Amino acid sequence: MSTTIAPVEVGTGSLAGSARRALPSTPALALARTRIELRQFFRERMAVIFIFAYPILMLAIFATVFGQDGTTVGPEPGIPFAQYFLPGMVATGILLSSFQNLAMGIAVERDEGGLKRLRGTPMPASAYFLGKVGSVLVTSLIQMVLLIGIAALAFGVDLPTEASRWVTFAWVFVLGTAAGAVCGVAFSSVPRSGRSASAIVTPIVLVLQFISGVFFQFDQLPSWMQTLSGLFPLRWMAQGMRSVFLPDWAMQLEPSGAWQHGTTAAVLGAYLVIGLVVGVRTFRWRRRDDG
Amino acid sequence: MNTPAVLVQDLHKHYGDKHAVDGLDLRVEQGEIFAVLGPNGAGKTTTVEILEGYRKRDRGTVQVLGEDPQHAGRLWRSRIGIVLQSADDHAELTVSEMVRHHAAFYPGARDADEVIDAVGLADKARTRTRALSGGQRRRLDVALGIIGNPSLLFLDEPTTGFDPEARRSFWSLISSLREDGTTILLTTHYMDEAEQLADRCAVVRDGRVVALDAPSALGARAQKQATVTWHDGGPREQRTSRPTDLVAELAARYGGEVPGLEVHRPTLEDVYLELVGEVA
């Protein structure tokens, strides 16, 4: 190495500090983390397929299989199948790219020693978490654009034109992504190892999808299942998205006969706060067997 | 006057009933390569992780680059480099991307290409890290440890699992850092590694320093005792600090050639095993 360093003045931290340039700012590091997280995510083919492309593939398959011969949902005139199915896939997409992505991804990073290494650098913890949030926002946005675009172009789903519906979309998307992300961070400490993470997280997400009426018409699920799903955010994200993409008369298909925006906001907000508190208190930078 | 890079006094760390570190003292001067030797479970890693700010101590004083790691901030972190025992994170990034990304964390980081070149990964710069061999991965770990231009570098058992050739080339990499004036604190359970690299080494047993000296001096101390073996019906053995006298005496006794005569001086490995062996 050609660089030669003068012996360090030990014990004069401020002096040594001023001799060097200032520490990089947290926003700059958060941006650097976002970039590296995205690069990493899109290079992991399995993750891209299961987290990113899954809702797009499911929409394509379900709409093709069940939507043939002009099948509709609900009383006359009915909602074309692809249109009824889209809100559920939008909600699933948000859950996967926020909750599942982080719960599994961070567990693996911790297991591989990546978290411990980062902890040993001058990168502030907040830059790490902001980087996660940034990358989740970008992946979910790309996912939403592709999902909704394919629904409109390939399956002829009429997209809403009223601005108020897109406002609803925006807040359900942002609140759902944020809640999913902080819960994913909190949940990442649950699996004992990175390897077991997918075995624990995937079934939870799958069960949530079934009971929240993502695959089926929600009003045809047993009522106890509808009630149970009310405890979890996916059902409320799906309902919120139905209020965006379905005509207003379809609210009679909801168990309550209304879109319940207030409850949706309250449940997602509660998950956001609880996830944040639990996540901050329980986050581990090291493996569980690492003391 | 030089302040030490690391100063540890009466360090204690308990896990339940187990005293992982039990009254350990350590002083590492600036610019030296200091090895902490000891068997698994001697308290090496616990001690080093306290110095790195990963763990909290129960008792004692710790100063690393003049600050208490438990309360030190980002600026302090930017002046130390850490190479952990094992890490295989960020498998999908290339060597160059990893090093550049880490460079962004530090004020006044080294040039990424120079560092990659220095650790001998120039031809792997565009390779994804998952495709690296164990030795190459370790070199990348060192690159990430030194990219911030640290005053003090921690190396935790850096060559465990290496083949002899990889160890040798790794050692020359570490020696080259010495020329930059970097202080290096290294833990190892290989005596030959300490002998190759370290200016001084501390042998740790049961959470305490049981010997502290230059590796050669540590050896010399025990080399005063030699073991003379020969055959006389069966194998005979005698330990002595004056082997020449004994051999002369034997030669006189046998009237010339002594059957099966051998004189052994303990190797550094033997010294080390004796120091830590009493525990078993």
Provide the mean pLDDT of chain A: 87
How far is Cα B206 from Cα B218, in angstroms, rounded to an integer? 19
Residue B106 DSSP SS3? coil
> Could you give the maximum distance between any two Cα atoms of chain B, in Å?
76
User: Distance between alpha carbon A239 and the CA centroid of its chain, in Å?
Assistant: 16
Confidence (pLDDT) at A46: 82
**Which residue type occupies A145?**
V
Residue-wise pLDDT tens digits, B6-65: 999 999 999 888 889 999 999 999 999 999 998 888 889 899 999 999 999 999 999 999
Residue B55 DSSP SS3? coil
List of chain A residues whose C-beta atoms are within 8 Å of the C-beta of residue B118: 1
- The first and second tokens of residue A57, run together, are 């593939």
A–B interface: beta-carbon pairs under 8 A: 133
Confidence (pLDDT) at B25: 95
Residue-wise pLDDT tens digits, A122-146: 999 999 999 999 999 999 999 999 9
- The first and second tokens of residue A201, run together, are 């997280």
First to last CA, chain B: 42
Q: Which residues sit opposite B19 in a β-bridge?
A: B14
A72-81, A99-108, A193-202, B132-141, range with the lowest pLDDT: A72-81
| pLDDT reading at A8 higher than 60 | no
Confidence (pLDDT) at B264: 84
Confidence (pLDDT) at B222: 62
User: Distance between alpha carbon A283 and the CA centroid of its chain, in Å?
Assistant: 18
Is B109 touching A (CB cutoff 8 A)?
no
Choose among B55, B105, B180: nearest Cβ to A24: B105
Choose among B79, B105, B182: nearest Cβ to A16: B79
Answer yes or no: are the C-beta atoms of B172 and B184 closer than 8 Å. Answer: no
The confidence band for A175, taking pLDDT boundaries of 50, 70 and 90, is: very high
Q: Are strands B226-232 and B262-264 parallel, antiparallel or unpaired?
A: antiparallel
Q: Which residues contact B40 (CB under 8 A, 6 or more apart)?
A: B189
Confidence (pLDDT) at A15: 37
Q: List where CATH 3.40.50.300 sits in chain B.
A: 1-79+150-159+178-213
In this prediction the pTM is 0.83
Is B16 touching A (CB cutoff 8 A)?
no
Q: ipTM of the predicted structure?
A: 0.82
Is B105 close to A117, i.e. CB distance below 8 A?
no
List of chain B residues whose C-beta atoms are within 8 Å of the C-beta of residue A23: 74-75, 78, 107
In chain A, what percentage of residues exceed pLDDT 70? 92
Domain covering B1-79+150-159+178-213 assigned CATH 1.20.140.10 in the classification: no
| pLDDT reading at A44 higher than 80 | yes
List of chain B residues whose C-beta atoms are within 8 Å of the C-beta of residue A28: 104
**Which residue type occupies B277?**
G
